[in-house]
Amino acid sequence: MSLPFVQPTAVERLIYISRASEPMGTLDLFNLLNNCREKNARLGITGHLLYADGIFKQCIEGPPAAIDGLWQSLLKDNRHEILEVRHRGAAEFRRFEEWAMAFSSYRYLNDFNMPGFFPLDANGVSEKSLLCS
Ligand SMILES: Cc1cc2nc3c(=O)[nH]c(=O)nc-3n(C[C@H](O)[C@H](O)[C@H](O)COP(=O)(O)O)c2cc1C
């Protein structure tokens, strides 16, 4: 008799909004994304970061203990002030499976042509940012 399929690791999703303490420039964002992606890949975290007009919206998804740990780091990070948690809960599947941290912002903030960058259109959305709500 075959056993029912059980997800090997539970995945949790957390979505929050924060305000940047200082306006972020191209280089700030490039460095932030590189560091995020390195640590997220190690921790099995995937997700999406939106930055527009001094506001971040981030979706992180991964094993609950890794999400807890990253959340503690995010709370302490003085580059931003957390304004609101929009969602936290178990996720049946990852929305950003292939991205250690996809990034959507204005095209002019991507001078370094980073991979995983999704430009915002005239309505302030990208194909990926629409998945982060
Ligand atoms: C808007 C924003 C989003 C961030 N996203 C991540 C992230 O996805 N992964 C990550 O490792 N660090 C992220 N960071 C950086 C963390 O706040 C923190 O500096 C980093 O994880 C190192 O923390 P630690 O010194 O406690 O290990 C983000 C910072 C900001 C301001």
Mean pLDDT, rounded, for 25-48: 97
Which residue type sits at 44? G
| Ligand 1 binding pocket includes 101 (Cβ within 6 Å) | yes
Q: What is the pLDDT of residues 114-127, one digit of tens each?
A: 999 999 999 999 99
Given this model, what pLDDT does residue 31 score? 97
To test ligand 1's pocket by mutation, which of 29, 70, 81 has the most ligand atoms within 8 angstroms of CB?
Answer: 70
Domains and CATH numbers, the chain: 11-131 (3.30.70.100)
Q: What is the pLDDT of residues 55-105, one digit of tens each?
A: 999 999 999 999 999 999 999 999 999 999 999 999 999 999 999 999 999
Taking the CA of residue 72 as reference, the ligand 1 atom at the shortest distance is 26
Atom 6 (ligand 1): residue with closest C-alpha?
A: 36
Cα separation, 131 vs 6, in Å, equals 25
Note the pTM of the prediction, 2 decimals.
0.93
CB 52 within 8 A of CB 63: no
Given this model, what pLDDT does residue 8 score? 58
